[in-house]
Amino acid sequence: MQLLALRAQFPALEQTLDGYPLCYLDTAATSQKPQSVLDAMADFYRYDNANVHRAAHQLSARSTAKYEAVRDKVQAFVNAQRREEIIFTHGTTEAINQVAWGLNQKLDSNSVILVDTAAHHANIVPWQQLAQRTGAKVIAIPLADDGRIDQQAYQALVAQSPSIVAINHVSNVLGTVNPVQAMVAQAKAAGALTLVDGAQAVAHKRVDMQEIDCDFYVFSGHKMYGPTGVGILYGRYQQLDTLTPLLTGGEMIEQVSFDGTSFNTLPNRLEAGTPAIAEVIGLGAAIDYIANLPQAATQKREAELVNYLQTQLQQLGGITLYAAHNDNCGAVAFNLNGEHHQDVGILLDQQGVAIRCGHHCAMPLMHSLQISGCCRASIGVYTSHEDIDRFIEALSSVKAMLID
């Protein structure tokens, strides 16, 4: 499919801001949505709106069938062994909180939790809370000078037999890619449970649970051309089945009486209450959209765009790039030397260019880089070389205004 035709599938990209055509370079925060996703959600509300699993009427039967069909799509998308290993959540954050809460009984004051220094706060704070509840200790996995995880330091920490290892697949700030398969294997050999945050990976890379072999893998729909408010917790069945539910109430029960309650089997046991049905259906449409893209060509083109973006920023001058590597994925982090990142972002917005500025929910990473925050430009399947050229042109004018 030609890029122009592909971009036309995303209605939001057709708008102008203050007279400038939108140049959207904030996909790592949330992706734009193709018309097929919008239509799938609208059609559900228009024709099939009913609660799932709980009624005998035809609308509910159609709603349930569409909802559960997405579980099968996700299973195939990540190559899980069983459909029961796919748990619908409201996003990556809830998925990690479910795992962290669910492990309360498995940790004690002798336990160690290793966490990626570059992790999103959603993959830090739940482990800190688990440590407070159990007396466990959280240890940050340090970064090397190149911004990647220090593998020698990681091996030394794994040798201390941690209980849990929680890492990024792809950094939401830097775009650096962790060797998750090797790191998971090392952690498992030491007896640790492993969780991989794949929120920034699934829209750009093929993910295979049998290859990665982690115990838990989590991601969000809205970063992979789907809607907000829905995410996935993949877990190895035997590990999921021992988690204490984070939420209790309807749907996740087997029997309820005032003498006691028994819980349902997976996946229902970890899906309390009315789910985000339309959003799940939208996620299914997003998976279909990604599956219909030419995977190898798309990944090659995105890699070329990231490298082009890095090169153009370097050639502009007066720019500091952070952890810029040829194999980075989806995002480029930078600062305009001597200028506050927020000022840069606001001035770019005035020219129709949307990037992200701040600490990116990764304050420990900012501390490691010895900065308060940075700018981040990130790409999607709809990003063009012209978008990057427009961004560089706008940034050049910002640079001239602030520095030259």
Asked whether 102 and 128 are in contact (CB, 8 A), the reply is no
**Residue 224 structure tokens:** 């992979």
d(CA 211, CA 257): 43
Enclosing H/E stretch for 358: strand 356-358
Written in H, E and C, the secondary structure of 360-404 is: CCCHHHHHHHCCCCEEEEECCCCCCHHHHHHHHHHHHHHHHHHCC
Q: Can you tell me which residue has the tokens 């708008």?
A: 15
The residues that are catalytic are 361
Enclosing H/E stretch for 193: strand 193-197
d(CA 84, CA 265): 9
d(CA 184, CA 196): 9
d(CA 202, CA 208): 10
Q: Can you tell me which residue has the tokens 């001058």?
A: 317
Residue count (the chain): 404
Calculate the dihedral angle through the C-alpha atoms of 287, 127, 155, 240, rounding to the nearest 10 degrees. -50
